[in-house]
Amino acid sequence: MKKVRTRIAGKNLLLAELIIVILVFAIAATGCVTLFAAAREDAQYSRDLTNAVIMAQNTAEIFKATGVLSGTSINDLWQDLILNENGDILTLNIKILKDTEVIYELTAAVLKEGAS
């Protein structure tokens, strides 16, 4: 009779250990999913920032080389063209937007031809 009680108690203990192990793994899996979601969001932001920098630099290089912005057909590029007080320096403020949020901002300036 004593052996039967020992076997039943042993089985109950094994079941309790298995439940605890499964619970620990479930908590660890939840933490991993949260970390992977945050890493994916960071990667998306990094990709957007890299693309914004490239677009702004390309536009600034075209502006510096030609002094105009012809051929710029970027939908999410917001830009200001400002003349200084003497009218000899053109300054271009480029802001790259995504969902009305400024991702990257760049300022380029060029001296107009004939200006001293």
Kindly list the domain boundaries of the chain, sorted by start residue.
2-111
Please state, for a pLDDT cut of 90, what percent of the chain lies above it: 22
Number of other residues whose CB lies within 10 A of the CB of residue 40: 10
Burial (0-12, 13-18, 19+ Cβ within 10 Å), 106: middle
* DSSP codes of every residue in 33-92: HHHHHHHHHHHHHHHHHHHHHHHHHHHHHHHHHHSS-TT---TTEEEEEEE-TTS-EEEE
- The pLDDT of residue 73: 47
Average pLDDT in the 62-86 region?
59
- Amino acid of residue 116: S
CA distance 59 to 92: 9
Please state, for a pLDDT cut of 70, what percent of the chain lies above it: 68
Per-residue confidence at 76, pLDDT binned at 50, 70, 90? Answer: very low
- Residues 11/16/22/25 CA torsion (nearest 10 deg): -130
pTM, to two decimals: 0.58
